[in-house]
Amino acid sequence: MNTPSSTASRLSRSAWRAALALCFVPAGAALADPPPKQPLNSLSGIVVSKKDGRPLANVNVAMAHHREGSITLMNEGHLSAWGPQETVLLLFTKRNSKSACETTTDAEGRFTLTSFRKPSEAYAVVAAHREYGVTVRRAVIPADHKDAPLKIEIDEPAYVRLGTLDIKDDAASYMTRLAFADQRGLLEVLGDVDSDAEEEPFSNVVLSFYSSSRDKAGDSKLGPLPGGFEYIVTHEYFTRRIGAAATLLQRRVRLDPGQTADLSTTTPDGAELTGRVTLADGKALRDVNVMVKFGEKRRDIVGTVTDAEGRYRLRGVPEGDVLLELSRHALRTAPG
């Protein structure tokens, strides 16, 4: 039941609210409607098999602005898209979906990437699946696909397999990693490179392939990878004694769609090089990384590590001009 006192109380509260609201309105200003919400940009598309054209479900799709975002391609078709972090309430940060975003295709192979800004600028788009393979697209402009969906074809996957190890050390761990050979080569393969360009817009797509596991046959397999590119494969050796990675193998390899490159640290071709590493007083040096570098820009490497007697054996050393390099990790000590 309304009483005179309760009615007066409500009117009093309403008057205070109106007075407070007027305090924040500049003199002579009209009360305007709130600005309309900006529509979210979106890019829709479909992922199909290049071999038979069938739509592919559960494919990971990532997109990143060519200057402000990046895409990391990992083993077994995993993707991660990153952009500069956004600040929330001046204290907290969150992942930025305005310059990099991810999604997954549905049962019909369709996908929609949303919430990004600058739809008229170039983006890199990567589609990856552990069985179907990987496709990398660069310079995709979302505004060009406003009316027609973006079609992505995935070719047969490529792989790198590392064979039997030359060093047997139960206390050691091994790791194989991959990287694109060089961004310029990548652009040339894609048929979209300006020889005078100062920038390499494809550099925002990187590989993060690391493998320390091997199967029963002693092999380590990395992939899937997009075919048609050249890669640098590096195999490294770790122990607590060394404190740093020792290179056992490094190769440049070009992979075609569906190809598996078989590499080994015990390559039968080439010569065998043996020796011993000591100090000037004849004391043997253990865990020295002995490497023979050859090929273009000395990027190909055959390496090993000296044993307790300082001895080493390198197999698969090519003929011709090579560079012998020795490297050893040493603990930093105080001067004097």
The answer on pLDDT for 288 being more than 70 is yes
Q: CATH 3.30.70.270: does it fit domain 42-154?
A: no
Per-residue model confidence as pLDDT tens digits over 307-320 = 999 999 998 888 88
pTM for the model: 0.71
Q: Is-contact 63 101, C-beta < 8 A?
A: yes
Looking at residues 228-234, what average pLDDT do you find?
Answer: 88
pLDDT attached to residue 46: 97
End-to-end C-alpha distance for the chain, whole angstroms:
93
Q: Which of the two residues, 197 and 291, has the higher pLDDT score? A: 291
Cβ neighbours of residue 209 closer than 8 Å, sequence gap 6 or more: 73, 74, 75, 176, 177, 178, 222, 225
Longest dimension (CA), the chain: 108
User: What's the chain's Rg over C-alpha atoms?
Assistant: 29
pLDDT attached to residue 215: 56
Chain CA centroid to CA 56, Å: 22
pLDDT attached to residue 262: 85
Both structure tokens of 131: 């069985």
Instruction: Give residue 157's pLDDT band: very low, low, confident or very high (50, 70, 90).
Output: very high
Per-residue model confidence as pLDDT tens digits over 50-105 = 999 999 999 999 999 988 888 999 888 999 998 876 666 666 666 666 889 999 99
> Distance between CA atoms of 249 and 165, rounded to whole angstroms?
10
Q: Is-contact 174 210, C-beta < 8 A?
A: no
> Distance between CA atoms of 20 and 22, rounded to whole angstroms?
5
Domain boundaries, given as residue ranges, for the chain: 42-154, 158-327
Q: For the CA atoms of 225, 226, 227, 230, what is the dihedral angle to 10 degrees? A: -80
pLDDT attached to residue 185: 43
With CA atoms as reference, report the closest residue to 276 among 286, 267, 268, 266.
286
Per-residue model confidence as pLDDT tens digits over 182-207 = 654 444 444 444 434 444 444 688 88
Which range (146-150, 178-182, 245-249, 272-276) has the least confidence?
Answer: 178-182
> Distance between CA atoms of 215 and 164, rounded to whole angstroms?
11
Q: For the CA atoms of 280, 282, 288, 289, what is the dihedral angle to 10 degrees? A: 70
> Distance between CA atoms of 173 and 235, rounded to whole angstroms?
11
pLDDT attached to residue 239: 76
pLDDT attached to residue 178: 84
Cβ neighbours of residue 71 closer than 8 Å, sequence gap 6 or more: 62, 63, 64, 79, 80, 81, 82, 100, 124, 126, 204, 205, 206
> Distance between CA atoms of 153 and 49, rounded to whole angstroms?
6
pLDDT attached to residue 96: 60
The answer on pLDDT for 285 being more than 80 is yes
The answer on pLDDT for 321 being more than 70 is yes
Instruction: Give residue 152's pLDDT band: very low, low, confident or very high (50, 70, 90).
Output: very high
pLDDT attached to residue 299: 82
pLDDT attached to residue 9: 53
The secondary structure of residue 201, as a DSSP letter, is G
Buried b (16+ CB within 10 A) or exposed e, 293-323: bbeeeeebbbbbbbbeebebebbbbeeeebe
Range of 18-22, 161-165, 325-329 with top mean pLDDT: 325-329
pLDDT attached to residue 155: 96
Per-residue model confidence as pLDDT tens digits over 102-150 = 999 999 999 999 988 889 999 999 999 999 999 999 889 999 998 899 9
Query: Mean pLDDT of all residues in the chain?
Result: 78
Write the burial class of residue 47 (CB in 10 Å: 0-12 exposed, 13-18 middle, 19+ buried): buried
pLDDT attached to residue 68: 86
Q: For the CA atoms of 13, 16, 18, 20, what is the dihedral angle to 10 degrees? A: -140
Chain CA centroid to CA 113, Å: 19
Looking at residues 270-285, what average pLDDT do you find?
Answer: 92
pLDDT attached to residue 174: 73
pLDDT attached to residue 95: 62
Which range (131-140, 215-224, 238-247) has the least confidence?
Answer: 215-224
